[in-house]
Homo-oligomer: A and B are copies of this chain.
Amino acid sequence: MSIVDRKERQRAERYDLIVAAARDLAEAEGWDAVTTRRLAGLIDYSQPVLYSHFKGKADIMAAVANGGFEELATRLRTQTAMGTPDVLRNVCAAYLEFARSQPVTYEAMFVLPTQIKFASADTPIALRATFAELLAALGPDRPSPELLAEVLWSALHGMVVLVQSERIPARGADVRLDVLVQSFGRQSR
Q: Measuring CB to CB, which residues of chain A are less than 8 angstroms from any residue of chain B? A: 110-111, 113-114, 118-119, 144, 147-148, 150-151, 153-159, 161-162, 165-169, 172, 175-176, 179-180, 183-184, 187
With A118-B166, A153-B168 already in contact, the answer to whether A147 and B161 are too (CB < 8 A) is no
What residue in chain B is nearest A157 (Cβ atoms)? B158
Of B113, B144, B161, the residue contacting A175 (CB under 8 A) is B144
Copies in the complex: 2
> B179, A148: Cβ atoms under 8 Å?
yes
| A-B pairs with lowest CB-CB distance, top 6 | A154-B158, A158-B158, A155-B155, A157-B158, A154-B159, A118-B167
> B155, A151: Cβ atoms under 8 Å?
yes
CA distance A103 to B54 in the complex (A): 30
Is chain A's binding surface mostly helix, strand, loop or mixed?
helix
Question: Which residues of the partner chain B approach A113 to less than 8 Å between Cβ atoms?
Answer: 165
CA distance A168 to B155 in the complex (A): 13
CA distance A180 to B147 in the complex (A): 10
A selection of 30 A-B contacts at a CB cut-off of 8 Å is: A110-B162, A110-B167, A111-B111, A114-B165, A118-B166, A118-B167, A118-B168, A119-B168, A144-B179, A147-B175, A147-B179, A148-B179, A150-B159, A151-B159, A151-B176, A151-B179, A151-B183, A153-B168, A154-B155, A154-B157, A154-B158, A154-B159, A154-B168, A155-B155, A157-B161, A158-B158, A158-B159, A158-B161, A183-B184, A187-B187
